[in-house]
Amino acid sequence: LSDCLACDNCVTAEEGARVFQQNQKELFRILNLNKKCDTSKHKVLAVSVCPQSLPYFAAKFNLSVNDAAKRLCGFLKSLGVHYVFDTTIAADFSVLESQREFVQRYQRRNQEEHALPMFASACPG
């Protein structure tokens, strides 16, 4: 979240508490706690990797994007992360849902004053 612009567009009041858990210090705190305690008391850690980050790692370490994904996943698991998820499919669903909403709004443009314009974006952070 170090790149977050704090625009409040992605976080509702209910999600505010969860955002606290999504930072580097908290991740390493939990990783260290997991190393010190019984495995039955471990907190499960899941990391999501967006497809836009993989070309950066690939270029930085002179790897293919697939190799970068495999190595990043392996690195995170070596730290103690339990699950690593690729968010590509979630991004695809988001685009499909935006497309569906746009078609509906476009069809209602003459009946509803505020049907258009429609704004959609991904978090700039």
pLDDT in tens, 56-105: 889 999 999 999 999 999 999 999 999 999 888 887 888 888 899 999 99
Question: Predicted confidence band at 21 (pLDDT cuts at 50, 70, 90)?
Answer: low
Cβ neighbours for 61, distance < 8 A, ≥ 6 positions apart = 68, 71
Question: Predicted confidence band at 26 (pLDDT cuts at 50, 70, 90)?
Answer: confident
pTM of the full predicted structure?
0.62
Question: Can you give the pLDDT at residue 63?
Answer: 96
